[in-house]
Amino acid sequence: MKIVQAKNYQDMSSIACQIILEKIKSAPSLTLGLATGSTPKGLYDCLAADYKENRTSYKNIHTANLDEYIGLPKEDKNSYHTFMNENLFKHIDIPLSQTYIPNGLAADLTEECRRYDRQIKMLGGIDLQVLGIGQNGHIGFNEPGTPFSSRTHVVDLDKSTIEANSRFFSSIEEVPNQAITMGIASILDSREILLLASGKSKAEAVYHLLNGKPDEKFPASALQLHPQVTIVADAEALQKV
């Protein structure tokens, strides 16, 4: 795993932004795996600012997001569809028909998971997957105990994840308790992985990621099995390393 030390959140975001822009310039029809949450927001702001200034084009880029809540309509202000539209897609020239996110309102959720796996396969797989990390080591919504062999699946969210994400909702009762997420095996299939971490609340998780052995109790440790992982983390997230 390659570790890039950033000074702070802003620095982490702009380093990740430069890495992605370089990739897009050398492969303009890349498939990007995208994440939601507070961590990648600065990265998306930077990509949006670059588009405004330099018009780096996404016309031939495809994207596949890691996850979506079950039970929220796409238009809900807390859905990951809305997050991606508001924070990235509406600011760049990517056709929305080339952006893929699991449908958390599908009538048959098991079939939706299989369909999403087929969709990623049809895209030729993910070239570069962006990841955040949960305090409990989750990647996507793969909570501790998720088999490393898992593909896209339905998950019951951890109490700690529901609590962490309740900051976006008016009350904790409104946070969905299930989601669809790409599995660990789906994530490991990506050709390259870019994990971002910022702030002292992630320091323990980053320490485990770098020092533990691969163990399903700590989902992010699966990344040790991948040959092309870059971690961009700021000083606070690296304070225990």
Residues forming contacts to ligand PGA in the complex (CB under 6 A) are: 37-39, 132-134, 138
Question: Hey, which bits of the chain come out as E strands?
Answer: 2-6, 31-34, 62-65, 67-69, 99-100, 128-131, 153-156, 178-181, 192-197, 229-234
CB contact burial 21-53 (16+ within 10 A = b; e otherwise): bebbeeeeebbbbbbbbebbbbbbbbbbebbee
**Cβ of residue 41: shortest distance to ligand PGA, in angstroms?**
8
8 burial (CB, 10 Å; 0-12 / 13-18 / 19+) is middle
State in angstroms the smallest separation of the CB of 133 from ligand PGA: 6
Among residues 92 and 187, whose Cβ is nearest to ligand PGA?
187
CB of 205 to ligand PGA, least distance (A): 9
99 CB-contact burial (10 Å; exposed 0-12 / middle 13-18 / buried 19+): buried
Nearest distance from C-beta of residue 121 to ligand PGA, angstroms:
24
By beta carbon distance, the residue nearest ligand PGA is: 37
- Determine the Cα–Cα distance for residues 215 and 146; give it in Å rounded to an integer: 10
33 or 37: CB nearest ligand PGA = 37
- Least CB distance to ligand PGA at residue 222 (A): 14
Q: Indicate the residue among 57 and 185 with the shorter CB distance to ligand PGA.
A: 185
Give the burial string for 145-177 (b: 16+ CB within 10 Å, else e): ebebebbbbbbebbeebbebbeeeeeeeeebbe
Q: Which residues are catalytic?
A: 67, 136, 138, 143
